[in-house]
């Protein structure tokens, strides 16, 4: 998974309402699932959505998620007479196609994608805020934060994705709280002849992997951006080059090829996975996308909370997938009804979980999915994470950040000087 192109993630590593039209409380009676769906149909008048001129809503979706939406779209059509047409698109190109086509009026009413598209979408004026009202409280707080930009919520979340530490329990029976403990346990496993590598995390040959290493950086008090008054990321507050960041840079050099050899610049994500599956390391820093292969291999493993390298929590970046509404939707009223009262339902969220296997954003759906201990573990870690910055300025960060980290891991350059140079380069790109 290449986070720069996602996430995500998934991997690496996400529908909006046109015009932010408020949905009256009576519409809740038509929601799929929940007590409201059982209320008497005569309790309140229901607006005639077809009278607004809508006969079809179009949603762009990838091939994996399209089948999971068929039941909820059928329910909506049965209730309202309005068809939701699912158009399968290539995930790699769909974001740019959406940005290009929405202004022409040829784009869809809805799109499925990751939250880190939000900044670009808002910048281009192609999505509109979603009116969730009290329903926002039904979702994990971190997922709503991820979908919030400039104080407005721009999507209905359905899944949360983040990394964790996989541990081979035959090699190391107990979880570690700190990265120093992980290193010590890993070295002992190597010394005992149980393992060849004390710790595994994949490195891109050109860009390293700041996404996977971020929890260690965050635990040392180093963040990328500061926060604005509304709680969102502020591109004017670039914090990555501060003293805490420099201390993390020094740690990277110490952990790398010329130091303790804990992080190996020559081990890619595929190699890291291969070595863990071969039983050559007790630890693998990765996401849920690699768990199925670990299970198939029959390895006894645990999903551990992320270890700390400093005195702060080891918060991972989270990626949130959701539904966004086009700002140019020709069927705004019907689209808002579908988003606010159908895609927020347990039926829809449960179905999306079954298709993707990621912890659901809806609390009620997560409680059911958490009967799987792996989902429960990843979900608890994600609940403590921070949304990957979705502001457009984040695109100016990844290249310098990753290249600098990789050079330090390789033992090249000076941590303090190179980290400062990296921060200045990012600042210049953002200003430009």
- For 216-244, the pLDDT digits (tens) are 999 999 999 999 988 899 999 999 999 99
Q: Which residues contact 38 (CB under 8 A, 6 or more apart)?
A: none
Residue 150 has pLDDT above 60, yes or no: yes
CB atoms < 10 A from the CB of 101, how many? 16
Taking only the tens place, the pLDDT of each residue in 368-417 is 999 999 999 999 999 899 999 999 999 999 999 999 999 999 999 999 99
Q: Kindly give the pairing relationship between strand 317-325 and strand 386-387.
A: parallel
Write out pLDDT tens, residues 184-194: 999 999 999 99
pLDDT of the residue at 54: 65
Kindly indicate the confidence band of residue 271, based on its pLDDT and cuts at 50, 70 and 90: very high
* Other Cβ atoms closer than 10 A to 191: 10
Task: Evaluate whether 176 touches 189 at the Cβ level (below 8 Å).
Answer: no
Q: Does position 42 have pLDDT exceeding 50, yes or no?
A: no
Tally the C-alpha atoms within 13 A of residue 281's C-alpha that lie toward its C-beta: 26
Average pLDDT over residues 272-278: 98
Residue 254 has pLDDT above 90, yes or no: yes
Tell whether the model's pLDDT for residue 47 goes beyond 80. Answer: no
Residue 166 has pLDDT above 60, yes or no: yes
The predicted pLDDT at position 27 comes to 29
C-alpha 394/C-alpha 277 separation (Å) is 34
pLDDT of residue 230: 86
Q: What is the pLDDT of residue 349?
A: 97
pLDDT tens track for 300-318: 999 999 999 999 999 999 9
| Alpha helices (H) along 85-178 | 91-101, 118-123, 141-146
Q: What is the pLDDT of residue 40?
A: 35
pLDDT at 278 over 70: yes
Question: Using 50, 70 and 90 to split pLDDT, how confident is the model at 432?
Answer: confident
User: In the beta sheet, which residues pair with residue 168?
Assistant: 301
How many CB atoms lie under 10 A from the CB of residue 98? 23
Mean pLDDT computed over 344-361: 96
- 255-261: long-range pairs with CB below 8 Å, 24+: 255/183, 255/409, 256/408, 256/409, 256/410, 256/411, 257/409, 257/410, 257/411, 258/410, 258/411, 259/411, 260/183
- What average pLDDT is seen over the chain? 89
- Overall average pLDDT of the 124-151 stretch: 95
Give phi and psi for 76, each to the nearest 5.
Answer: -65, -40
The pLDDT of 189-204, averaged and rounded, is 98
Residues found in the chain: 432
What's the rounded mean pLDDT across residues 3-15? 34
| Mean pLDDT of all residues in 20-49 | 38
Query: Residue 394 in contact with residue 116, Cβ under 8 Å?
Result: yes
Classify residue 361 by its DSSP letter.
Answer: S
Question: What pLDDT is recorded for position 55?
Answer: 83
């Amino acid at each position: 998974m290449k986070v720069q192109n996602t996430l995500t993630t998934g991997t690496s590593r996400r529908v909006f309402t046109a015009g932010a039209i408020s949905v009256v409380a009576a519409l809740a009676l038509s929601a799929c699932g929940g007590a409201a769906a059982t209320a008497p149909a005569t309790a309140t008048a229901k607006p005639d959505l077809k009278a607004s001129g809508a006969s079809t809503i179009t949603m762009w979706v990838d091939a994996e998620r399209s089948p999971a939406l068929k039941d909820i779209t059928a329910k909506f059509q049965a209730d309202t007479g309005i068809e939701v047409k699912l158009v399968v698109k290539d995930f790699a190109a769909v974001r740019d196609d959406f940005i290009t086509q929405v202004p022409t009026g040829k784009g869809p009413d809805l799109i499925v994608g990751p939250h880190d598209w939000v900044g670009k979408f808002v910048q281009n004026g192609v999505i509109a805020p979603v009116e969730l009202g009290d329903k926002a409280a039904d979702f994990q707080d971190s997922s709503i934060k991820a979908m919030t930009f400039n104080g407005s919520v721009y999507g209905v979340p359905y899944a949360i994705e983040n990394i964790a530490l996989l541990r081979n329990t035959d090699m190391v029976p107990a979880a570690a709280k700190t990265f120093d403990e992980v290193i010590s346990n890993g070295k002992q496993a190597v010394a005992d002849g149980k393992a060849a590598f004390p710790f595994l995390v994949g490195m891109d040959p050109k860009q390293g992997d700041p996404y996977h290493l971020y929890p260690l950086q965050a635990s040392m008090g180093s963040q990328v951006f500061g926060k604005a008054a509304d709680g969102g990321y502020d591109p004017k507050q670039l914090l990555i080059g501060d003293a805490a960041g420099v201390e993390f840079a020094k740690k990277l050099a110490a952990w790398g090829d010329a130091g303790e050899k804990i992080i190996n610049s020559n081990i890619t994500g595929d190699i890291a996975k291969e070595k863990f599956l071969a039983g050559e390391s007790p630890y693998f820093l990765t996401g849920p996308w690699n768990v199925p292969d670990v299970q198939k291999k029959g390895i006894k493993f645990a999903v551990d909370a992320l270890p700390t390298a400093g005195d702060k929590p080891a918060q991972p970046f989270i990626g949130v997938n959701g539904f966004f509404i086009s700002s140019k939707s020709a069927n705004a009223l019907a689209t808002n009804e579908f988003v606010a009262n159908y895609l927020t339902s347990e039926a829809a969220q449960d179905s999306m979980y079954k298709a993707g296997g990621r912890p659901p954003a809806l609390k009620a759906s997560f409680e059911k999915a958490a009967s799987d201990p792996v989902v429960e573990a990843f979900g608890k870690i994600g609940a403590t994470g921070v949304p990957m910055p979705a502001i457009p300025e984040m695109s100016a960060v990844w290249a310098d950040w990753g290249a600098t980290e990789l050079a330090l891991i390789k033992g090249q350059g000076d941590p303090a000087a190179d980290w400062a140079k990296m921060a200045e380069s990012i600042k210049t790109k953002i200003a430009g």
